Structure 1
Amino acid sequence: MKYRIIKLNPSQLLIVVFTVCILVGTLMLKLPFSTTESVSWIDALFTATSAMTVTGLVVVDTETAYTLFGEIVIASLIQMGGLGIMSFAVLIYMMLGKKIGIKERLLVQQALNQTSLGGVIQLVKNLFIFSITIELIAMLFLSIRWVPEMGWGKGLYYSFFHSISAFNNAGFALWSDSLMGYVGDPVINIVITFLFIIGGIGFTVLSDLWHKKEFKKMSLHSKMMIVGTFVINIVAMFIIFSLEYNNPNTLGSLNSLGDKVWASYFQAVTPRTAGFNSLDIAGLHDATIFLMLLLMFIGAGSASTGGGIKLTTFLVILFSVLTFLKGKEHTVLGKRSISLTVVLRSLAISTIGLFFICAAIFILNITEDAPFIMVVFEVISAFGTVGLSMGLTGSLTFIGKVVVVFIMFIGKLGPLTLAFSLAHPEKAKIKYPNEDILTG
């Protein structure tokens, strides 16, 4: 009997490895000593997927439903999902003294969304050193706040868990109301937001910052991410502050101006796939919810711990539209022309992402007894691997949970990864004549 060897391309292998890790995580979360109460298979799968995709949506309360072992499993899945399972595989290869071949480099390139193979192994090394260092430093600062409040054991553990969760943009918290109890706390606000902004800006940008030092010497990608992140965060903060200032359900209930500023800042930056919240999301005005939907869809940076279509994708599409309106042929950013391939890739990512989002919204509107805005918010939060919710997650039906699990999976790996895993590209052997069609 002959056995056919199935050859997988990097996109297909990445999906298989990611799926296996989620299933292993599900099994570990179903172990008797992982939970304090009965957790169904679908809930265990949902939690494992949410952790592995660094989303943060939860169907059961993390602190009360899982034991210390279960929470450590969740933290481990978050770390693997945030830094990339293929990055861990490469690290193990290097520790064992094995040679990193072209296939492994291709997998890392795919996992970290790099445009070339050059320097991917060095990027993995830098990624681990930087990530562990930042998480340990953040843990120290958080422990200064939480150890006096909770004691050494619990304070250090909470600092450890939330440091990993924040840096990897996961949004898992050990309080049922996330960080609402620390809405005006400067230490928690600064440390947590610093972690998920650094984690979400992208490892290539951080590497560029480390090596180039000067802004003008950095790559166009790094410049776009730094400037774009700063502008979007500041603008979003002022808009939320203005919209919610007198809302009795959010900022209006806070006594001091300082607390309102901290809360506005936190809610402005957290939709960039972080998932923590210090205000009741369901209590926000519709206009604020709409702004957060846009921010969640855009997401963080490429090769980061965050999700969404990515900020650079959004900026490429935006400037391409402006180029068309100005009647110019080439999209130019920072005195550099953007290739047509990059523009088409950006359009493909956004279009495929919108297709999955619309399909999920359609299904959930059939299966779930919830307002339309709550359904839309849940789906886009899952696609952007954000983890924010207006309260729908805990009441999802079985079908609803399956749909959200799938959307989280797509959101983490990226729409193009799925498309490339299914497609079989072939070079065109025939060139056909051009003909215009009417559009618009």
Structure 2
Amino acid sequence: MANEPGAPLRVALLGCGVVGSSVARMLVEQADDFAARAGAPLEIVGIAVRRPQRPRPDVPVDPALFTADAEDLVTRADIVIEVIGGIDPARGLILRALEHGASVVSANKALVAEDGPTLFEAATAHGVDLSYEAAVAGAIPILRPVQESLAGDHVRKVMGIVNGTTNFVLDAMDVSGSGFSETVEQAQALGYAEADPTADVEGFDAAAKAAILASLAFHTRVSAADVHREGITEVGAADIAAARENDCVVKLLAICERVTADGQDAVSVRVHPAMVPRSHPLASVREAFNAVFVEADAAGELMFYGRGAGGDPTASAVLGDVVAAARHRVAGGHGPRESAYADLPVVDMGQAVTRYHISLDVADRPGVLAQVAAVFAEQGVSIETVRQQPGPEGEDRARLIVVTHRATDAALSATVTALAALESVAAVASVMRVEGA
């Protein structure tokens, strides 16, 4: 769908929170630059908000542009920017905009991960763009490189830190040795965590982003429900200390892999905390930053790093999509469509291949190590290293620390269950996966 030569492109903004305010301000302050880049002026025709009368001195637009009637606004635009988040009413508004011939730019990872196919089909049916670079990793350009720059390659794995809140918490626990709860409170005080941090610390946010990354990387429809998800609420100071003893750090990772299951190609997608060797590039990602590590057959290893959240960083990704959509409106044509031709099965967590770091409190007597090793052998799990530490003074106990070779998660989990049942094992003190080694 081409625009009339020289005519301004009408832009509607849904939402004017932290990200929306930055988008509006940058559109106004850099209007000439955007017009030159897009090939036509970009004119804000309305901003949909819940309370239009509320003063917004940080948004340099005519107050008359604010409206509560988002349904009408999306029918009057060439490009609709959705930054309200959530599933509804965002889904209905985006579909309405697409049906009226508007291109849509969204930062809504939850919606794209849950119902992306419906939105993609509507965009294709109406010949317009649906772009969502800002839905994953904020300012970091990762979706377009995976979708376009690596379209001629075979992506094997995408592994990354895609949630700034959890990375800040885990990094602070590593640096200061403080506990989980107090570190979350610190993150909230600094604005890195919401008042209710559940979506972040329980891994829901990262799971939605993992679904999007896997869908693009492996040309397969993956939803958030397909992603195995574990958060960081059970990570304690002892886990952080154990990682440090092994020259590792703990990170919440989103891991998307092409695997072989039952003799055919498949996809494994998971989010969980893991120990990462300090020599791995992801280990050096500090505070609230994000990073995504991509492995492809021809390109090899690629690393994308930057700010994963915040008004201006996320607005940068949003406006990159806006300029691309505007260029297509001016010149005709459209951006990439959904590519789900591979249609690979998504395997459950039990078939994922990983490594475990296991700490056991055991009776300090002859034969115990042999019993423990026998359990690993029975489950077909190979031990990479094992070391023993003395237990508390005056108690006939010791701490066994075992790191395994790679095995299926089902076999590793069964091993832990069997170890816990041994009479000589007083407790399974901690279990954590090891990635990146």
TM-score (norm 2): 0.26
Instruction: Write 1 or 2 for the structure with the bigger share of helix.
Output: 1
TM-score (norm 1): 0.26
Instruction: Write 1 or 2 for the structure with the bigger share of strand.
Output: 2
